[in-house]
């Protein structure tokens, strides 16, 4: 009896996890559609932070800098590479008219940062004090970018999970409807509907842990059998 019930539970777990995997795959497939909004979720947070330095970014690559950053985000470029690109552009854009934004962000004197910018443009050597000042500004920018990417990635993951859960529930309801032999409402039909909804809701969170859960259940069953023998 224990073996039969365990096998039934394992089958249910694997089937539910398979449903979650299918739903997540459907989300990934939808992202490939032109103009799909899913890929852009979270970028607004990055845009809000980088707009604090829009003068430097515009000086580096022109007024369409946000479209370039958006392309990197939508394409799924590694986070470290995206941050490195932004930092490089900020250094390139460290010119008169953009210095004030970076000076304010790093809480340094604008005149001092302007002097550093002038040396960077002419290829002059920076003193230790100037290197420290530039490092301070870059450290603040790094911290702001880290926070922005943390929040953006969390927003994207949460949205992807929600959409995957929606598709999992929808697929479970379709399967429930296809399995119905009669549309005369009954208690059995109601129970099956609730099971379909429960399976759809549990599918996405169960998908990543299904194998570990099955392994744990199998190990527990073996332990119980060994204890009975003793």
pLDDT classification of 1: cutoffs 50, 70, 90: very low
Decide if pLDDT at 208 tops 70: yes
Decide if pLDDT at 127 tops 50: yes
- In angstroms, the CA 180 to CA 190 distance is 11
- In angstroms, the CA 153 to CA 43 distance is 9
- In angstroms, the CA 35 to CA 27 distance is 14
pLDDT classification of 229: cutoffs 50, 70, 90: low
pLDDT for 153 = 93
Q: Enter the DSSP assignment of 182.
A: -
Residue 168 CB neighbour total at 10 angstroms: 28
Backbone torsions φ then ψ of 182, nearest 5 degrees: -145, 145
Structure tokens belonging to residue 30: 């939808």
Give the percent of the chain with pLDDT over 70: 95
The arithmetic mean of pLDDT across residues 1-6, rounded, is: 65
- The answer to whether residues 43 and 152 touch, using CB atoms and an 8 Å cutoff, is yes
Q: Per-residue pLDDT tens for 10-27?
A: 788 888 888 888 888 888
The arithmetic mean of pLDDT across residues 187-211, rounded, is: 84
Decide if pLDDT at 47 tops 90: yes
Mean pLDDT across the chain, nearest whole number?
A: 84
Burial of 228 (0-12, 13-18, 19+ CB in 10 A): exposed
Decide if pLDDT at 226 tops 90: no
Backbone torsions φ then ψ of 29, nearest 5 degrees: -65, -40
Domain range list for the chain: 2-226
Q: Enter the DSSP assignment of 1.
A: -
Which of the pair, 144 or 208, is modelled with greater confidence? 144
Q: Whose structure tokens read 């409402």? A: 185
Backbone torsions φ then ψ of 14, nearest 5 degrees: -65, -40
Q: Quick one: which of 189, 193, 212, 191 has its CA closest to 201?
A: 193
The pTM (predicted TM-score) of the whole model is 0.75
pLDDT for 230 = 61
Structure tokens belonging to residue 186: 């009954």
């Amino acid at each position: 009896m224990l073996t039969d019930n365990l096998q039934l539970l394992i089958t249910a777990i694997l089937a539910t996890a398979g449903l979650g995997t299918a739903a997540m795959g459907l989300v990934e497939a939808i992202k490939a559609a032109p103009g799909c909004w899913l890929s852009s979720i979270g970028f607004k947070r990055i845009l809000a932070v980088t707009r604090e330095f829009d003068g430097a970014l515009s000086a580096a690559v022109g007024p369409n800098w946000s479209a370039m950053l958006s392309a990197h985000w939508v394409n799924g470029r590694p986070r470290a590479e995206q941050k490195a690109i932004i930092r490089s552009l900020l250094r390139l854009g460290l010119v008169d008219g953009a210095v004030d934004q970076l000076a304010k962000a790093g809480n340094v004197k604008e005149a001092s940062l302007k002097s550093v910018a002038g040396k960077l443009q002419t290829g002059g050597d920076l003193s230790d004090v100037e290197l420290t000042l530039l490092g301070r500004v870059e450290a603040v920018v790094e911290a702001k970018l880290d926070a922005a990417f943390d929040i953006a990635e969390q927003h994207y993951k949460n949205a992807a999970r929600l959409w995957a859960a929606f598709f999992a529930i929808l697929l479970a309801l379709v399967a429930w409807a296809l399995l119905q032999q009669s549309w005369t409402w009954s208690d059995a039909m109601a129970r099956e509907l609730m099971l379909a909804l429960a399976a759809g809701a549990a599918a996405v969170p169960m998908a990543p842990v299904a194998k570990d859960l099955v392994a744990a259940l199998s190990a527990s069953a073996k332990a119980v059998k060994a204890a009975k023998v003793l």
